[in-house]
Structure 1
Amino acid sequence: MTVSDRNPGALLDRGDERLKDRSGAKGAIQGFLDRVRSGDLGSLPVVVGLVLICTIFQTLNPVFLSPNNLVNLLFDCSTVGIISLGIVCVLMVGEIDLSVGSVSGLASALLGVLWVQWGWPVALAIVAAMAVGFVTGCVYALLLNRLGMPSFVSTLSGLLAFLGLQLYILGPTGSINLPYDSPMVDFGQLLVMPYWVSHTLAVVPGVLGLFLGYRKAQRRRAAGLSSRSLGGLLLQAVAMTLVLELVTYYLNQSRGVPWMFALFVGLVVAMNYALKRTQWGRSMTAVGGNREAARRAGINVRLIYTSAFALCATLAATGGLLSAARLATASQQAGTGDVNLNAIAAAVIGGTSLFGGRGSAYSALLGIIVIQSIASGLTLLDLSSSLRYMITGCVLAIAVIVDSLARRSRVSHGRA
């Protein structure tokens, strides 16, 4: 006799004797601990790491967590963060794009040439630069789908080719200054949200989470499954809203929340919704987990690869445009240096698996905040940039080790 036979009113997923009944606050905590032990870590490692980084740098220099420094940090996070968001897409399907830095640099160079030198309207120049990124991603996907060329090789070739093209179109001067009084440069350097707008938007995540959580709970109850209580959903929404309101209030003690960071967060939320709640997102996860199984399940694997690479290159171009706006110039140094490293490292540090099939858009957000926090803290301490490379490399290595160990644990617990 099963639990359902003894208690006809039991929920379907609580009626199986093989499942543990986790209910109430104690059950939620125990369930969280069980997931951690089984390797389902989520964002826990990066959140713990971020707390440690902030604690150390704030102890060494009290300016680190000052409102003004945090506003500057958010400005700096946005450009590479959007590039990293594209890296999440290709990592989700088990591939890589090594040319995002060069694509971003080429996009900034195109903006300078088309807008400043050729006199194109700025909107048209932006669209043209993003279109180049989109076509680039489609070409990478074509090489993978039709010729079987590994993405490592094709994107490495693209890195070199686009870097050369960037140097060629910028010419002997090597840089093009953007108009300082233009709205685009203001957007990249100065524009912040009005006080009332930032506080209003801080309420949106909590309300949206409550709405989506309630709808999910309704569907589960209709199917006879257990679901989260309305009280638990309300408590989560209120807690999230209070935290965001406090952060917004603190940032408004300085200049406020940058519009550029709001754009980045908006893209993260949209991408996360697409990855978690749409057929396309589920197909991305399936292809990254097992390409052949996804193909046999009827998923258009080639189309999924094309969408991933096209999104990645388009977001790389977008990041390059915002970087040009941030620096008010398009130069030969744009997209070079550590842009590639930081974009890929941010996605991995934030929790996206290098093995494909696991990750979220919030990986880019959390990861780039970690990297920029390290850079900002070392700058305030007036330490060499060589330390930043070494520390970032160590953090990346630790993130990959944690991911590998967690993957083994998930396999052993049947959660892979």
Structure 2
Amino acid sequence: MSNTIEGKEPNTELAVESHPESSNAVEVSSYRPKQTFGQLLRNDLGFLPVLLTLIAIIIFFTVVSNGVFLHPENFSNLINQIPTIGTLGLGIILVLLLGEVDLSSAAVSVLCAVVMGILSERMGMPGWVAMLAALLTGALVGAINGFFIAVLRIPSFIVTLASSIAYSGLLLKLLNGQSTLIIRDPLIVSLAGTSKSFLPDIYGVGLPTLVVLLYIGSLFLNYTRRKKAGLRTPSIVQLTLISIAVIALVGGAVALFQSYLGVPYSTAILFGLIILVWLMLTKTSFGRHIYATGGNNEAARRAGINVIFIRIAVFTLASTLAAAGGILAASHALSVQSQVDSSLQLDVIAAAVIGGVSLFGGRGSAWAIVLGMMIIGSLENGLSLQSQTADVKQIIEGIVLLLAVTADAVVRRLQARSRSGR
């Protein structure tokens, strides 16, 4: 792993740059050598290969379904089904940035939804109190996971696997033999469970437009800053192509939404969370410390970063986001279940990795979850339209995940060779 803390190598002109949405690569301020294939793949193409993959999937299923895949009603149903994956996936991204793994997010999500359901339906508490209790439950179990991982130094794989098993049993205990608990609270149901759970047109069009403008503005602002600092930057042509692609995809999605019922509340909540996590990662010292810790834990510790606090905080945030995903899922289903969906954990990890977050830590963006969840959701929805069974869906998702991880590992090796050859 390259060092993520800014500084200079002794007796050399190379400067190490810490950049929160790319690999922590060695940058050259006064001399730019010819780029290798590995550098071109990771530094210049960015998320374009994933975006092209998503476009290919959309085109394929649109053709084979005779246009049903992009019918406004089907598209709205698709988008309503993936906010849970996206919200849990955001938490997984934070954990992966540390180079860790969380296998408990699906179980935590259902557990927190069950807590909300019991408080709301059995104890008669207001919906906002039940939702707050669910979020606090998520934060508590995440902090417990973080304590075992950061303080006691038990591998995250073991801790979160054990937590997943324990929380799955706990939610069965809480439901006391009841397989399904119906949710009736109007506030909870209004998030994603009724025909009125959609934004008014002015917000449905205005908010996505604002988000796109902010994202594109940040791309060009970052380009300007890096160029002034003498750091490697993508070309204006590449930034323009990315901007056009984002505008086309978001504009097309909003047009489909508006031709049916509008933009769902759950989608607005998800993108609000993505923006908050993105700002935290890119605009705060806490976010930079997450990247530094994931890139090189020992270097971060020697630089004065409290890596124990960072790890506990990240696992706490991840489980809190899982709780938010559980609330949205319960609202959409109008109930909470006693069983954890066996494929949910795979889906959220796959969405993060397919979107471009490295399993090795220190590289990735909150926006990666958008492409990742769209690919996972599109595959599931498209295969369902073709009447494919669950086994076929899981086989294809597994293959796509393996390809994404393989591509990430290959790019890392190419980058390592390019640096060692300088």
TM (normalized to structure 1)? 0.86
Moved more, 193-202 or 336-345: 193-202
With over 3 angstroms needed to count, the CA separation of the structure-2 counterparts of 1:361 and 1:216, relative to structure 1, is closer
Q: 1:126 to 1:381 in 2, by over 3 A?
A: same
Alpha-carbon distance change, 35 to 205 in structure 1, aligned in 2, over 3 angstroms:
farther
Matched, 1:289 2:295: yes
Contact 2:37–2:414, Cα closer than 8 Å, also in 1:
no
Query: In the alignment, what sits opposite 1:6?
Result: none
Q: 2:401 aligns with which of 396, 400, 403?
A: 396
| Displacement after TM superposition at 1:72 (Å) | 0.8
How many matched pairs?
A: 392
Aligned equivalents of 2:59 and 2:116: distance in 1?
A: 40
State how 1:3-402 maps to structure 2 within 5 Å: 16-18=30-32, 35-37=39-41, 41-62=45-66, 63-179=68-184, 182-189=186-193, 190=195, 191-209=197-215, 211-212=217-218, 216=222, 240-241=246-247, 243-333=249-339, 335-402=340-407
**Cα-Cα RMSD:** 2.9
Q: Could you tell me how far apart the structure 2 residues matched to 1:16 and 1:82 are? A: 42
Distance 1:228 1:345, change over 3 A: closer
CA contact (8 A) 1:371 1:392 kept: yes
Tell me the secondary structure at the aligned position of residue 419 of structure 2. coil
Q: Select the structure of larger CA radius of gyration.
A: 1
**Alpha-carbon distance in 2 for matches of 1:226, 1:92:** 22
What SS is found at the alignment partner of 2:189? helix
Other structure's SS at 1:267 match: helix
- The one-letter amino acid of 1:59's match is V
| Structure 1: 5+ residue stretches without partners | 1-12, 21-30
Whether contact under 8 Å (1:92, 1:357) holds in the other structure is yes
Q: Is the 8 A contact 2:29 2:231 kept in 1?
A: no
Partners in 1 of 2:29 and 2:46 — Cα distance? 28
Identity %: 35
Instruction: Please give the secondary structure, in 2, of the residue aligned with 1:254.
Output: coil
Q: How far 1:48 moved relative to its partner?
A: 2.3
Distance 2:226 2:69 in 1: 45
| 2:15 corresponds to | none
SS of match in other structure, 1:346: helix
Matches of 2:140 and 2:96 in 1, distance apart? Answer: 19
Deviation at 1:91, TM superposition (A): 0.5
- Asked if the contact 2:75–2:256 (Cα under 8 Å) also holds between the matched residues in 1, the reply is no
Contact 1:94–1:288 (CA<8 Å) still a contact in 2?
yes
* Runs of 5+ unmatched residues, structure 2: 1-26
Which residue of 2 is the match for residue 23 of structure 1? none
Q: Distance in 1 between matches of 2:235 and 2:368?
A: 28
Matched residue SS, 2:336: strand
Q: 1:232 to 1:92 in 2, by over 3 A?
A: closer
- Residue type of the alignment partner of 2:30: D
For residues 231 and 370 of structure 1, the distance between their equivalents in structure 2, rounded to whole angstroms, comes to 26
Query: CA shift at 1:42, angstroms?
Result: 2.6
Query: Per the alignment, do residues 45 and 283 of structure 1 end up closer, same or farther by CA in structure 2, a change over 3 Å counting?
Result: same
